[in-house]
Chains A and B, each alone.
Chain A
Amino acid sequence: MAKTKPSRADQLLYLLTYPLNWIEERTSAPGRSGIIGGIKYFLFRKVPSDISWGHTLGSAALTAFIVQAVTGVILAMYYKPDPNSAYESIRHITDDLWAGWLVRGMHRWGASVFIILLFLHMGRVFLYGAYKYPRELNWIIGVLILVLGMMEGFFGYLLPWDQTAYWATVVGVNLQATGPFVGPFLGDILRGGAELGPDSLARFYSLHMLVIPGALAALIGLHLWLVVRIGVSSPPWSPIEAGRPEPGPPPAKRKGLVAPAPRGARKR
């Protein structure tokens, strides 16, 4: 049997998709899809057809988080976490660097936008009753993301090392140290001593740019994985709400009050 030569188009397609197929084969178990298959599933999975703008608040918060990550990495290249130079390095970023004010401004205001979007997203989930079975765990993860997001705000607030930030943080840490049992202990750990100084700034910096963002990224990943796996809920008032029971025959207790509908009349 003569070999048929593949067409030009087929050859080109094979060449172009080769890297993708290579990755897919090396990330999959036999019979299961790999990374490329996963991305395909993510993109082309079915979502309820009645979802709309309300469902974009979560991805909007994710976008704000990404803005914070990118601008934060750039700021970390110029910021100096030391009480003697922190304030000057912030002024240097704001006044001297090209677009430094923009990066710092985006990071500063992006934080507020992130928090607002987290609250709006939470409000949307509450309004839709989307925290109910089977999405309880994702609600809890979401609350943890909100708490960590606000902690990012608290630890980042000190970094410019200006008067407002410094004294607000002194009071904040002291308040937190009033807590029973672990309170004073936590206060000492955060300050790295009896007073807010060089050690505290280094600790706040490390928490703000390594520990909490890492935990946040992991929780956001888990949150998204559950969203994709379980699926997003339809608006509960939607006439084509996914999961709503098909209208069946009227319940038995109504017998005698309402005349039974003729057979088939209530079917869609």
Chain B
Amino acid sequence: MNRRLEERRAYYARYKQTTKTRGKPFFPYAMFHDTVMSLLVVCVIVALAVIWKYSTPHEDPSSSGWLGKLYDEKADPGTTNFVPRPDWYFYFLFYLLRIFKWPDSVLLGTVGVPTIALLLLIALPFIDIGSERRPLRRPVAMTAAVLTIITMGVLTYKGATAKEPLAAENLVLVPQWGQKQGFAGNPTAMDGGKIFAQVGCMNCHTYEGAGTSNLGAPDLTSIGKTSNRGVAGFADYVSNPSKFGNNVMPQFQDLGADNLRKLGTFLQSSGNCNPKSSNCPAAGGQ
């Protein structure tokens, strides 16, 4: 017979025995503590709701109080100038996706790491099988717990403070891009750059050092050279990325064919133009 199993069973039998002889009834002793704690929980929830409501300025209900807005603007599938923000307890997952880059390792961030973490959590009682319960005598378990808490805390903090640039901030960069890349003389590419700056591309993509790398989206500074799809090819890709196996990027077909063509010209010009000679193979297209 397994000695460990016998020890465990003996422990449980002793536990039941001691509790029966030396324990105290749940009511009223333990229930008193539970009731006080539950009342505290309800009070905290009500207090949060009250602060949320009354810290919002009365004259402008759409502005933000201490705990955020009462309501955001109505969802509009047509606009793509959005800031994808989950609730705070998903920030750690949200930030995980900035660590793993599309497309090589993004699967690790979306599925791999969370699944492994969840399996480890479920398997904990089968990994830590010793009968010792005192924290100071479980150094491995306690170290793992502290590291987990620190990791989750840092990821949540980073996710909370990760800033997406505003459209207006990006817009002023477009003329610089034109100079640097050499498509300043091409109004179609410049218009495409303005669209790029405004419709939310830079919430996930970086370009010439601006924007935010998010959800594993690649840097697009020289995308025209590295992924030479042509103006129509880029327009097609952006309008429905899932057709090309990219299920993370949203569809942008609502921008309309004209805007998509401008955007495509901008992307094709990126990295393909020569700033000195203003020679731009994509610029003449269509």
Are B25 and A51 within 8 A (Cβ)?
A: no
Number of residues in B with C-beta < 8 Å to the partner?
85
Residues in chain B near residue A178, CB distance under 8 A:
106-107, 110-111, 247-248
Enumerate chain A residues within 8 angstroms of B31, measured Cβ to Cβ.
43
A70 to B: closest C-beta gap in Å? 10
> Is B118 positioned at the interface, with any CB of A under 8 Å from its CB?
yes
Check: B73 CB closer than 8 A to any chain A CB.
Answer: yes
Interface residue from B24, B41, B72 paired with A164 (Cβ < 8 Å) = B72
Looking at the complex, which one of B72, B84, B122 makes contact with A162 (CB distance below 8 Å)? B72
Q: Does A126 lie at the interface of the complex (its beta carbon under 8 Å from any beta carbon of B)? A: yes
Q: Is B107's CB under 8 angstroms from A63's CB?
A: no
- Shortest distance between the CB of A173 and any CB in chain B (Å): 9
Instruction: Name the contact of B247 in the complex, choosing from A43, A83, A184 (C-beta under 8 A).
Output: A184
Whole-angstrom CA separation of A217 from B85 in the bound complex: 29
CB proximity to B under 8 Å, residues A120-148? 123, 126-136, 139-140, 143, 147
**Interface flag for B276 (CB, 8 Å):** no
Asked if B33 and A53 sit within 8 Å, CB to CB, the answer is yes
- A residues contacting the other copy or chain, number (CB 8 A): 94
Contacting residues of chain B (87-111) with chain A, CB-CB under 8 angstroms: 87-90, 97, 106-107, 110-111
Enumerate B20-49 residues with CB–CB distance to A below 8 Å.
Answer: 20, 22-27, 29-31, 33-34, 36-38, 40-42, 44-46, 48-49
Q: Does A27 contact B (CB under 8 A)?
A: no
- The interface centre, meaning the residue of A136, A178, A237 with most chain B CB atoms within 10 A of its CB, is A178
- One digit per residue, 1 when the CB lies within 8 angstroms of any chain B CB and 0 when it does not, for chain A 135-174 equals 1100110010001001001100100111111111011101
Given contacts A59-B37, A106-B45, A161-B74, contact A44 B248 (CB under 8 A): no
Q: Are B71 and A243 in contact (CB under 8 A)?
A: no
User: Does A206 sit within 8 A of B, measured CB to CB?
Assistant: no
Q: Is the CB of A45 within 8 A of B26?
A: yes
Say yes or no for B61: interface residue by CB 8 A criterion. yes
Residues of A near any B CB (own CB < 8 A): 42-49, 51-53, 55-57, 59-60, 62-64, 67, 83, 87, 90-91, 94-95, 101-102, 104-106, 108-113, 115, 117, 123, 126-136, 139-140, 143, 147, 150, 153-154, 157, 160-168, 170-172, 174-180, 183-184, 187, 194-197, 231, 233, 236-237, 240, 242-245
Interface centre among A48, A133, A172 (most CB of B within 10 A): A133
- A196 and B83 alpha carbons, distance in the complex (Å): 16
| Residues A101 and B248 in contact, CB atoms below 8 Å apart | no
* B168 in contact (CB, < 8 A): no
**Interface secondary structure of A, over-half rule:** helix
B177 within 8 A of partner (CB): no
Pair A196/B77 contact, Cβ less than 8 Å: yes
Q: Contact partner of B128 among A123, A132, A172, CB < 8 A?
A: A132
Q: Quick check: is B59 within 8 A (CB to CB) of the other chain?
A: no
Q: Which residue of A lies closest to B115 (CB)?
A: A179
- Residue in A closest to B40 when the chains form the complex, CB atoms: A60
Taking a contact as CB atoms under 8 Å apart, the answer to whether A157 and B125 are in contact is no
B251 within 8 A of A: yes
**Are the C-beta atoms of B15 and A102 separated by less than 8 Å?**
no
Asked whether A170 lies within 8 Å of B84 as measured between CB atoms, the reply is: yes
* Interface: B1 (CB within 8 A): no
Given contacts A63-B42, A187-B247, A195-B77, contact A176 B90 (CB under 8 A): no
Residues of B contacting A94 with CB < 8 Å? 70-71
Q: Is the CB of B126 within 8 A of A176?
A: no
Docked-complex contact A143 and B118, CB < 8 angstroms: yes
Q: CB-CB < 8 A to A160: which residues of B?
A: 71-72
Q: A113-B44, A187-B247 are in contact. Are A133 and B133 (CB under 8 A)?
A: no
Cross-chain contact A45 with B25 (CB below 8 angstroms): yes
For the complex formed, measure the closest distance between the CB of B106 and the CB atoms of chain A, giving whole angstroms: 7
Which 5 residue pairs spanning A and B have beta carbons closest together? A105-B49, A243-B15, A129-B133, A46-B23, A166-B75
- By a CB distance below 8 angstroms, the chain A residues around B107 are 178-180
Q: Please tell me if the beta carbons of A243 and B87 are within 8 angstroms of each other in the complex.
A: no
Taken together as a complex, chains A and B put the C-alpha atoms of A49 and B12 apart, in Å, by: 16
Chain A contacts for B70, CB-based, 8 A: 94, 101
Q: Are B74 and A162 in contact (CB under 8 A)?
A: yes
Q: How far is the CA of A175 from the CA of B84 in the complex (A)?
A: 12
Q: How far is the CA of A196 from the CA of B78 in the complex (A)?
A: 12
Q: Tell me whether B133 and A233 are in contact (CB under 8 A).
A: yes
| Residues on the A chain within 8 Å of B110, using CB | 175-176, 178-179
Most chain-A CB neighbours within 10 Å: which of B45, B86, B106, B122? Answer: B45
With an 8 A cutoff between CB atoms, is B82 at the interface? yes
Could you give 21 example pairs across A and B, Cβ below 8 Å? A43-B25, A43-B26, A46-B25, A48-B23, A55-B30, A55-B33, A56-B33, A60-B41, A87-B74, A95-B61, A102-B46, A108-B49, A139-B125, A153-B87, A154-B86, A157-B86, A166-B82, A196-B77, A197-B77, A231-B16, A237-B135
B12 touches A46 (CB 8 A): no
- In the complex the two chains form, what is the Cα distance from A140 to B49 in whole Å? 32
Please name 6 further chain A to chain B contacts, defined as beta carbons within 8 Å, in addition to the given A91-B71, A183-B111, A242-B19, sorted by A numbering: A51-B30, A87-B75, A112-B89, A168-B84, A171-B248, A233-B133
Asked if B72 contacts A165 (CB within 8 A), the reply is: yes
